Amino acid sequence: MRGGKRPLGAVMAWVRRQPPKVKAFLAVVTGMAALVFIRFIVHDHDNLFVAAEAAHALGIAVLIYKLTKEKTCAGLSLKSQDLTALFLAVRLYCSFVMEYDIHTVLDTATLAATLFVIYMIRFKLRPTYMVDKDNFALYYVVVPCAVLALLIHPSTSHNIVNRISWAFCVYLEAVSVLPQLRLMQNTKIVEPFTAHYVFALGVARFLSCAHWVLQVLDTRGQLLTALGYGLWPSMVLLSEIVQTFILADFCYYYVKSLVGGQLVLRLPSGVV
């Protein structure tokens, strides 16, 4: 086991010593290599989207285990859970009125689990909630997402309210994890279950982003045309990329912590 960790540990140590520009370049190269690998092993790219939903569900399952077994919500952001419930609820509405499919079922289950987490934090485990650390102002993300949805939304034949709602949930999902990252930055120390949950979100975001990127490549850009005209198709793809990069830095420190055999993740300043 130790022999397997040493080479990876040496690589992580080398990466850590590199300047920010080199780290950014390595991250891009690694992401592109992962996309190429996924493209060859996954024939139906729609499975990536289902896998992303499954990774998100697994992350929430970890949270539920933490809340029910350890009887504490310390380290969890209620505001991130509220944002997650909001964009899932809006996306479910859009699914029912615009296109009902398997993702509607998955979103329903995910929303139910998220509401349970919110209930536990708000009522059952309120004394352990770090309200002073969970200080991210939600209007910083909700208002810009709403304004952006009004300005840039799908150009399909659906009702204008439905199209704006669709755009709003896409934009909000991209930034819904920011309150959780802020809370972790405030505490500097992240306990294992919370770290597992956020890493699962990072995996989900990468798989979802890979789904869209590969779909665009395979259709030679025709998928973007199918989504409509104007800035909306590009904004969908940009939102997926933003979600991935928001969590990329945390995932790096998570893997580094695992390689080092640490149970508790310590974040340096400037990660969020």
Q: Render 196-245 in DSSP notation, one character per residue.
A: HHHHHHHHHHHHHHHHHHHHHHHTTTHHHHHT-STTHHHHHHHHHHHHHH
Q: Please count the residues of the chain.
A: 272
Phi/psi for 264 (5° steps) reads -110, 130
- Predicted confidence at residue 216, as pLDDT, reads 67
- Predicted confidence at residue 3, as pLDDT, reads 47
How far from 162 is each of 77, 150, 151, 159, CA to CA, in Å? 29, 11, 14, 5
Does the reported pTM lie above 0.85?
A: no
Tens-digit pLDDT string for the chain (272 aa): 444 445 656 665 666 666 655 555 555 556 555 555 555 555 565 677 777 878 888 888 888 998 999 899 988 999 999 999 999 999 999 888 877 667 788 888 889 999 999 999 999 999 999 999 999 999 999 999 999 999 998 877 778 999 999 999 999 998 999 999 899 888 887 888 888 888 888 888 888 877 777 776 666 655 555 555 667 777 887 887 888 888 877 877 777 677 666 666 666 655 55
- Predicted confidence at residue 235, as pLDDT, reads 84
Burial (0-12, 13-18, 19+ Cβ within 10 Å), 81: buried
CA dihedral 103, 109, 111, 116 (to 10 degrees): -170
Pair 259, 12: CB distance under 8 Å: yes
- Predicted confidence at residue 57, as pLDDT, reads 84
Rounded Cα distance between 9 and 261, Å, is 10
Rounded Cα distance between 76 and 266, Å, is 15
Please name which of 161, 149, 160 lies closest in space to residue 236, comparing C-alpha atoms: 149
Q: Look up residue 209 and give its two tokens.
A: 């982003």
- Predicted confidence at residue 1, as pLDDT, reads 44
pLDDT per position as a tens digit, 145-189: 999 999 998 877 778 999 999 999 999 998 999 999 899 888 887
- Predicted confidence at residue 50, as pLDDT, reads 75
Pair 156, 229: CB distance under 8 Å: no
